[in-house]
Structure 1
Amino acid sequence: VGIMERIIYADYLRVIGILWVIGVHLSLSYVSFHPAFSHLWFQGIISSSLTRAGVLLFIMVSGMLLLDRDEPLSKVPQRLKRVLVPFYFWLFYYFMKDVLIDHQLFNVHSTETFLIELYNAIIDPTKISIEFWYIYMIVAFYLMLPLLYQMIKHVSEKEIEYFLVIWFVVLLLNFFRFRIYIINYMNLFVGPLGYFILGYYLNKKDSKYTRSKKFGLLLFILGLVILILSFYIPALLTGHTENSYILVGNVDPGSCLKMAGLFIIFKNIDFKTVFGKYSEKINSSVIKFAGYTYGIYLIVNIPLDLIKDYGYFNLQISPFINIPIIILISVTASIIILWIMNKIPVLRKFTGMKN
C-alpha cells in the first residue's frame, strides 16, 4: 500500500498502543507496591490510567482496516498463520525458559508433566504473560471475520449505531455490577467485538463530532478521569488498593471513552502540516515502527525481565521518569532482536512482521 493510500493515523495509534501496553504493566507495579494514598501511589494510578487499554487501540485499528475490505473465507488460514506461528514460537521459548531457568510457573519433573504443562500453557497462554489474552481474542475475530464483514457491509450506519448503543449500555451495567438476568444473554454484545466495530465506525462516520479534535480531547479527558476514579474511589471505601474495578480486558467505560477520544483526535490530525518538512521522514519512521508492533508485543518481556531481575526497575523513582526510560530501553532492545531475526531466513517467520 502506498503512503498516500495508507491510513497513516492507524500506524500512529498502533505505536501508541504498544507503548501503552508496556507502560500500563509497569505502572500497575507502582499501584500494588506503594500503600494507598502515598504520593508514588497517586502517580502510579495517574500513569496507569494514562497508559491503560493500549490493546484496545490494536482492536479498533484492526476493525477499521479489516471490516473495510473484502474478507473471503479463503483468507482466514493465512491470517491465523501470521498471528499464531510467531506466537507459538515465543510461547514455547517462554515456557522452556521457565522450565529450565526460572521454575516459577510450571511444575515439570518428567516427560509427562512437561507435556501436561505445555498443553496448559497453550490452552491458557495468560499463565505465561497476562497480556497474551489478546492473541486468542484476535484469533477469534479472524475466525468470525468473513461473517462480520458481510454483516457490516449490509447494515446501515443507523444499525451500527444501534449495536454500539446497546453494547455501551451493557458495558456500563457490567461495570457497575448490575446483576440483571438478561445481561447473561446480552454478553454477545459485550467486550472486544464492540471495539472492533467502533474502530470501523469512527473511521467511517462523518459528523461534526468525529471531525472535532476538541470533542476527541473531551472524551479522552472524561475517560481518563473515570479510570483514575475507578482506582481512587474503591481505595477510599476500603482503605487499601482495590483492583476489582480495574478489569482485565478493558471492557470498562473509562477505557472506552478515552480510546474513542484518542481515535477521533488522531483521525483529525493532518500529519503533513504538523511536522512540516520532516513529515515524510517521521511518517515513514512511524510506519516502520508500526510494522514491528506485533513482534514487540511478543518479545518485550525478554528485556523487561532482565531489567527487573537486575534491579533496574526502581519503584522509588517517579513513574513519569522511570517508565519512559524503561520503555525506551526495552523497545529498542526488542527492535534490535527482531531486526536481526528478520535478516536470518529461518527465523524470519517468527518475527510477527510482514515481509
Structure 2
Amino acid sequence: MSNLNVGKRKSKRIFYFDALRALAILAVIMFHVSKRLSTLIISTYTPTINLQWLFGDFFFAGMIIGVDLFLMLSGALSMGREWTIRSFLGKRIPRIVEPFLFWGFILGIVILLIQIYFPNVLHVIDVFNIQSLGNYFVGIYTSKTFGFGQYWFFWMILGTYLIMPIFNKWLLHSDLKEAEYFLVIWLATCFFTSTINHPLPIKLNYFTGPIGMVVLGYYLRHTKRKIFSNKWFPILLILIGLFCLIYGSFLNSSDHSLFKFDRYSIFNAIEVTGIFLLFRNFSGFTFNSEKLSMVGGVFRKGIFSIAKYSYGFYLIHQAIMDITIKVMQYNHSFIGYGSLFLKLFLITLVISWALMAVLNRIPYVNRVIGAK
C-alpha cells in the first residue's frame, strides 16, 4: 500500500505530538541537570545499587532520550507527505537558523556583561579584543563555550533536515514493510555500533545515526500492526529500555566515573518506541467529570505552552542553568543532592518559560525566539 495520500490530509494540531515534544524538552533539561551533578551522583556509588545513586542515574542514563524524541517527531510530522525540497527546506531551515543565531548572540552578550559587572562570579574570556571576541562567538555557535554545549544539536538537526527530502521521497512511494526493512538494519547498527561498540564488518553507514529515529517516528505513527496498538506493550518496552539503560550504567560505572550509553543505543530505541506508542495509544483519553475537565484544560494548556517554546527552551536552558550554578557556587549554596537537582530544574524551567513567554509578546522578536 502506497502512502501517496498521507500528505493530503487536513493539517491539524495533534495533542500527543505536543505532549511528546513537551516531554522531550523536559527530559533534555533533566538530563543536563543530572550531568551537572554527575560528581555528586558518582559520590553515592556503591557496589550494590542504592536509592541515592539510582535517583541520579535515572535522570542521567534514563533521560538521554529527549533528542531522540525530537527526531521521531520530525519524522512523524514531516515524512510521507507531498512537499518539494524547496518548500521543506524553505520552511524548516529559517525556523532553526534564526533562533540559533539570535539566542547565541543575545545570551553571549549577557554572559559577557555578567563577567564585566560580576567578575568573581563568571569568567569566560581573558581579553576583550576583536580576536578574543571573535573566538568567543565562534565557540558559542560550535558548542565549545560556557553555557552553549547543547548547540551541537543545531548542526545535527540541520544535517538531518538536508537528507530528509531524499528519505521522504522514498517513504512517500513505498510500503510500510520497506520502512520495516530499513528499521531492522538500523536497529542492528544500534545494537552493534552504539551499544556493544563492535561495528559489523559490513559498512552500514546509510543505516546509522539520527535518520533512523526520523524513520522510526514516521513508522510508529502510521503502522497498523496490532501489537503496537496494545496499551500494555508500550509500558513493557519503557520498562525494558529503562532497566537496561540504568542497570547497564551501573555495571559500567564506578566510584570515579559515571557511564551512559550512546543516544542511539538499542536500549534508547526501545524506550523511545515505548514512549511514542504510549502517547499515541492514549491520545484519545478524555476527562469525564467537570472538575477533571478543568484540570485537563489547564494541563493541556501547559503542555501546549511547553511544546510551543520547546526549541527556544533548548537553545537557552543550558546558559541559564550554568549561570545559576555559578551564582550558587559563589554564594556557597551549591549543596545537597536531591534538593539541588530540584532547584536547578525548576529555576531553569521557570526562567526559560518566563523569558520565552515575555518575548513571544513582542512583535518581530517573537519570530526568532524559537516559538512555534
Superposition TM-score tier, normalisation by shorter sequence? 0.7 to 0.9
Task: Indicate the residue corresponding to 1:301 in structure 2.
Answer: 318
CA offset digits 1:320-348 (Å, max 9, x no partner): x5434533332222122112212222422
For the Cα contact (< 8 Å) 1:24–1:48, is it kept in 2?
Answer: yes
Q: Does 1:41 align with 2:53?
A: yes
Which of the residues 257, 276, 281 maps onto 1:241? 257
Distance (whole Å) between structure 2 residues aligned to residue 116 and residue 317 of structure 1: 35
Task: Indicate the residue corresponding to 1:288 in structure 2.
Answer: 305
The alignment-based identity, stated in percent, is: 27
Using a 3 Å threshold, how does the CA distance of structure 1 residues 296 and 212 change in structure 2: closer, same or farther?
Answer: same
3-state SS in 2 of match to 1:311? helix
| Higher mean C-alpha displacement, 206-215 vs 339-348 | 339-348
Residues 1-355 of structure 1 correspond to what in structure 2 (within 5 A)? 5-33=12-40, 34-35=42-43, 36-37=45-46, 40-75=52-87, 76-99=89-112, 101-102=114-115, 108-122=127-141, 124-128=142-146, 129-174=148-193, 175-182=195-202, 185-235=203-253, 240-243=256-259, 245-247=260-262, 250-274=263-287, 277-278=293-294, 279-311=296-328, 314=334, 316-318=336-338, 322-354=340-372
Distance (whole Å) between structure 2 residues aligned to residue 315 and residue 56 of structure 1: 32
CA offset digits 1:81-101 (Å, max 9, x no partner): 111111111112343345554
Query: How well do the aligned residues superpose, as a CA RMSD in angstroms?
Result: 2.7
Question: When the two structures are superposed, what TM-score results if normalisation uses the length of structure 2?
Answer: 0.83
CA offset digits 1:104-150 (Å, max 9, x no partner): 5556553134334433443x225452322221222122222322211
Distance (whole Å) between structure 2 residues aligned to residue 21 and residue 329 of structure 1: 15
CA offset digits 1:229-254 (Å, max 9, x no partner): 2211112xx653243x433xx11122
Question: When the two structures are superposed, what TM-score results if normalisation uses the length of structure 1?
Answer: 0.86
1:214 maps to amino acid: W
Distance (whole Å) between structure 1 residues aligned to residue 112 and residue 297 of structure 2: 47
Distance (whole Å) between structure 2 residues aligned to residue 9 and residue 105 of structure 1: 41
Distance (whole Å) between structure 1 residues aligned to residue 288 and residue 11 of structure 2: 16
1:292 maps to amino acid: Y
State the shift of 1:64 in Å.
Answer: 0.1
Distance (whole Å) between structure 1 residues aligned to residue 199 and residue 285 of structure 2: 49
1:81 maps to amino acid: P
For the Cα contact (< 8 Å) 2:234–2:278, is it kept in 1?
Answer: yes
Distance (whole Å) between structure 2 residues aligned to residue 198 and residue 234 of structure 1: 28
1:283 maps to amino acid: R
CA offset digits 1:159-202 (Å, max 9, x no partner): 110100100101111121214443xx312211111111101101
State the shift of 1:29 in Å.
Answer: 3.3
For the Cα contact (< 8 Å) 1:30–1:315, is it kept in 2?
Answer: no
Using a 3 Å threshold, how does the CA distance of structure 1 residues 275 and 337 change in structure 2: closer, same or farther?
Answer: farther
Using a 3 Å threshold, how does the CA distance of structure 1 residues 204 and 180 change in structure 2: closer, same or farther?
Answer: closer
Distance (whole Å) between structure 1 residues aligned to residue 314 and residue 214 of structure 2: 19
Structure 1 unpaired stretches of 5+: none
For the Cα contact (< 8 Å) 1:15–1:289, is it kept in 2?
Answer: yes
| Higher mean C-alpha displacement, 25-34 vs 162-171 | 25-34
Task: Indicate the residue corresponding to 2:4 in structure 1.
Answer: none
For the Cα contact (< 8 Å) 1:220–1:258, is it kept in 2?
Answer: yes
Distance (whole Å) between structure 2 residues aligned to residue 105 and residue 7 of structure 1: 43
Using a 3 Å threshold, how does the CA distance of structure 1 residues 66 and 108 change in structure 2: closer, same or farther?
Answer: farther
Aligned residue pair count:
343
State the shift of 1:39 in Å.
Answer: 5.3
Task: Indicate the residue corresponding to 2:118 in structure 1.
Answer: none
| Higher mean C-alpha displacement, 96-105 vs 31-40 | 96-105
1:349 maps to amino acid: R
Distance (whole Å) between structure 2 residues aligned to residue 336 and residue 239 of structure 1: 38
Distance (whole Å) between structure 2 residues aligned to residue 4 and residue 328 of structure 1: 34
State the shift of 1:42 in Å.
Answer: 3.2
State the shift of 1:158 in Å.
Answer: 1.2
